[in-house]
Amino acid sequence: MLEHIYNLRLVERNPLYALLLGIGYGIIGIGIAVLLFPEDPAIVAVAIISLIAYPTISSLMTSEEKIESKKKEFNILVFMKDHRNIFIVYILLFIGILLTFSIFSIMLPTLATNHIFENQVNVLYGDTTGKAGFFSPLFTNLLTHNFVVLTVIFMTSFLIGDGGLFLIIWNASVWGTIFGTLAKTAALNVNNDPFAYFLLILSIVTPHMLLEAFAYICSATTAGVISKALMRESPFSKKFNSILTNTAISLVFTLVILFLAAWVESFVLENVDIYKEIIRQSFL
């Protein structure tokens, strides 16, 4: 019913509305999850948000498939330009959900699920030595972890159409919970303002966070568009082979973005002293 409250063309014409939708979906999802499963609302909230957001993303994806089906050849720059709306909507929806989970984790610590936070801390902030660089231990760990997530998102979207939406929203909820919890615990330990800490953390992590999110979204969008396009084409036809080639090119581009995101993240974790100090304060 929620998707009928607003006109989809409103989101298509002005993707900024997707940010408001992300925040609204996040609040509704968390609210329902808290009422139904107060002991552990995180997974349920993500599932509910995914169900609410699905009609919007599915409708936009259908429009993108029509654009792709009319192409005779593939160009990565043209691909990005033609599908910029779905990318922008996805990114802003992602940011809206992330902000919602961050604010809830700061204001309502019961929603900051410790097991999610601890697992991610082990991956992101594990013991490493040396400066950040290509193929340093931290960079390799981050790239390996992100590649696994990207592969799962691609396969899920390819096999289930828009199935990658759940995993993308899950990442937004996890990152939001981590950043909010990190800001809250660090600020409380040094008697500071958690929202000021959160804004500081957000300013530091935004570059690599957006790069990584974009790689996941690009993977999901490519897989979703390609999977439905393949269903309309005869196996091994000229159009079929062209689609496979386009998929390979898109994946290479996505992997380059993921590679860059992992390097930027490892550089931040190893070299940005303010961020390292916030992390240290959170574990006092």
Q: What's the pTM value of the predicted model, to 2 decimals?
A: 0.81
Estimate to the nearest angstrom the gap between the alpha carbon of 226 and the chain centroid. Answer: 20
Which DSSP letter does residue 97 get? Answer: H
Backbone angles phi, psi at 70, to 5 degrees: -85, -10
CB 95 within 8 A of CB 19: yes
Dist. CA 233–CA 213, nearest whole Å: 30
First CA to last CA distance, the chain = 47
Q: pLDDT 10s per residue in the chain (284 long)? A: 555 555 566 666 777 788 888 899 999 988 888 788 777 677 788 888 988 888 877 777 666 555 555 555 555 666 666 667 777 888 888 999 999 988 888 886 544 445 444 443 444 444 443 344 444 577 888 888 889 989 888 888 888 766 678 888 888 888 888 888 888 888 888 888 889 999 999 999 989 899 999 899 888 877 877 777 677 666 667 766 776 777 778 888 889 999 999 999 888 888 888 888 888 887 76
Dist. CA 123–CA 163, nearest whole Å: 25
> CB-based contacts of 269: which residues, under 8 Å, 6+ apart?
124, 125, 128, 132, 138, 275, 276
Q: Which two structure tokens, joined as six digits, stand for 6?
A: 């607003």
52-83 in b/e form (b: 16+ CB < 10 A) is: bbbebbeebbeebbeebeebeebeeeebeeeb
Estimate to the nearest angstrom the gap between the alpha carbon of 12 and the chain centroid. Answer: 20
CB 99 within 8 A of CB 30: no
Tracing tokens 């107060």 back to the chain, one arrives at 38
